[in-house]
Structure 1
Amino acid sequence: MSSFEYRLQRSPVGVLQVDSDRTVVAANPLARRLLEPVAGPILGRELLSIHPEAARAKVQWMLDAASARPDEPVGMAMTLPMGALISRVTTLETVNGPGWCLVFHLPENFGQSGAPASDDVLVKLPVGSRAGVTLIDVASVMYLEAEGHYTRVHTADGQRFCQLSFAELVRRLDPAGFLRVHRSYIVNLRHAEAIERGDGHWAIIMTGRARVPVSRARVELVRRRLAL
């Protein structure tokens, strides 16, 4: 057996089961640890919505190819924000109709926690200033807000614009401290002071009493991260 085949057989494996509507109906613990730090809770979600836009066409192609050749699993290398992995898809027959099973083989050096590579983590954030560009410590950022192609950065000193896209900040901020809580907001958990709950809606109260909404899809993720 070649060294590659040996490593592939011993590599960690993430598994998803998807129904005919492309809804994720089951996932093993590794798949959840892999995807949820970036995508939020995945059970009950549409499959393509939990992948970055750049990977969605590849995922759809694999589903279509597996459906066209049900006796032949389809595989390809894919790139997610956490790194590259090998993915295979096969069709399933279930009591509720047809579906798919997705299996990812993770290389040994894959960032299973969802963290970016150490040389890609942002420690300074470039923001606009009268002099041009100012670099601020990411630790001073309370939360970030998507605004068109740019990002609004909120600190105790006020607001600044950052030319980095929201998607890039999601990928490059250290997930040990930063958490995406809404499609338009990332919070620095070190500045979180309280949780506001009412009528089924959640919000995180930040330093200075700023209120950041939490989307329903990410409430469970916030619960886990804050031990609520």
Structure 2
Amino acid sequence: MTSLAYQLQRAPVGVIVLDGERRVIAANALARRLLEPVGGSILGADLASLHPDAARPKVQWLLDAARARPGEPAGMAMTLPFGTLVARVTVMEGVDGTDAGWCMIFHVPEGFSVVPTTVPASGDILVKLPVASRSGVVLLDVAEVAYLEAEGHYTRVHSEDGSHFCSLSLAELGRRLDPSVFLRVHRSYVVNLRHAQAIDRRDGRWSIVMAAPHAPLVPVSRSRVDLVRRRLAL
């Protein structure tokens, strides 16, 4: 007889478990692929931080609705960074009968493709980035990139010699850059860890001092602080 954990990992739905503070404490493989399009870990992250700003009130409403009627799962269509999914949430009960958090299950629409977050195949890893120049397009060596910043549907590439415009999105670049070197530290930023010079901690907020003109500070989302700690042995 297969275990429940094994069945959940094989299920064609995304499953995440939240504690009472809305932090993700468990997730199956599909949920991780859906919510980690640029790498990193969702474990320990606040659920709202994994959604666009416009979707966060809906996420909170869904959790509140499930808690208000614990015997009746709440459901709704949710817009995530990668598309619209149907989600259902129910309250979890602890061993002492108290509210222990939530379980969220979301169904992937038929025909919807999910980009895996494992290390990309060697043929897909970018070694050069196409950036705009006065004469057309220049191919920038990825080793020279200090960090990437989302600029609408495009990306601003920052290097030691200045900033450059790239027509690829931050999500696309994140999927094709070496995850052992590049790390998503914020919804709008991906950093090259080899260009990290120092950590700035003020008022409880973290930033990474990058090796680029004027030593810019790249903000670290609260949900990514533990990940940055692990990757930089802090």
TM-score by length of 2: 0.61
- RMSD, aligned CA: 4.8
Instruction: Give the match for residue 219 of structure 1.
Output: 225
TM-score by length of 1: 0.62
Distance of 2:147 and 2:138 partners within structure 1: 18
Structure 2: gaps spanning 5 or more residues: 1-5, 107-114
Are 1:170 and 2:174 matched, yes or no?
Answer: yes
Instruction: Give the match for residue 84 of structure 1.
Output: none
Instruction: Give the match for residue 191 of structure 1.
Output: 195
Distance 1:185 1:212, change over 3 A: farther
Instruction: Give the match for residue 162 of structure 2.
Output: 158
1:98-126 Cα offsets, whole Å, 9 max, x none, are: 9642469xxxxx95xx3353143322211
Are 1:117 and 2:151 matched, yes or no?
Answer: no
Instruction: Give the match for residue 25 of structure 2.
Output: 27
Instruction: Give the match for residue 3 of structure 2.
Output: none
- Given that 2:19 and 2:100 are in contact with CA atoms closer than 8 Å, whether structure 1 keeps it comes out as no
Are 1:180 and 2:181 matched, yes or no?
Answer: no
Aligned residues: 209
Distance of 1:40 and 1:27 partners within structure 2: 11
Instruction: Give the match for residue 101 of structure 1.
Output: 103
**Amino-acid identity (%):** 48
SS of the aligned residue for 1:115 comes to coil
1:132-159 Cα offsets, whole Å, 9 max, x none, are: 1111121110111222332111112221
Are 1:148 and 2:152 matched, yes or no?
Answer: yes
Greater percentage in helix: 1
Distance of 2:101 and 2:172 partners within structure 1: 32
- Given that 1:39 and 1:51 are in contact with CA atoms closer than 8 Å, whether structure 2 keeps it comes out as no
- Name the amino acid aligned to 2:50: I
Distance 1:51 1:198, change over 3 A: closer
SS of the aligned residue for 2:126 comes to coil
SS of the aligned residue for 2:206 comes to strand
